[in-house]
Structure 1
């Protein structure tokens, strides 16, 4: 059975290897997209339980961003509502720079740094992810080495 890392880019067909990580099936240089379909879809609309996965490589995503073909959804927090923006647009850049979004992005960056820590496990990372999201919702900075108060 093929794994995610064996799938080519859905746009250009390029192949790529896995990320050097303990996580299985993580392609290097691509994003995984998942769809369960939706009412009105003519190619795929799951009655439930299954989904489609596809990969799009970084160069193709950058080309899509230039065509304004990707929406970026900023999840709601207690400070800001959910926002749907064109990824890479001037509007998205401006909203990304608001203090609350800057804090959320900074927290996510700190979380990404945790993935590289020696001895990191899926369980530890899940706990860190939950702590990072909690800090963001409460308008706080997430720190890897300090317990949340």
Structure 2
């Protein structure tokens, strides 16, 4: 399966470069009896449905032209945005999220809390700093990255 993912990454990258999009992730998974090739794309300002259709059409054409077929079994191709509450999986994604509203879950309590929401003010190799916006608080908190179990963008209501 990883060969399929790596092959698709190589094929889709020139398409994304041409349109100033970037690759968020590629999955090739079996769910029930069907295989799904999922390509998650993004760009500054967010991805539209038209962007997804454009990449899907171009990627599908490239895959159909290849001989031998890199994906011999039947599958469904899905191209989409990683979503408004996408995970922040690494340092680069945290850096790109500076200024955005985030949700951070910790492995253990920090100042009596395991969950923080607020605006990400900075992210370096060791820590993140957020403007804590939960329960009427409005304080800045420094969170060591080694304590972070999960982080994602969040929608502020």
Q: TM-score range by the shorter chain?
A: under 0.3
Higher relative contact order (CA 8 A, sep 6+): 2
Greater percentage in strand: 2
Higher helix fraction (1 or 2): 1
Larger Rg: 2
Given the two structures, how large is their TM-score scaled by the length of structure 1? 0.26
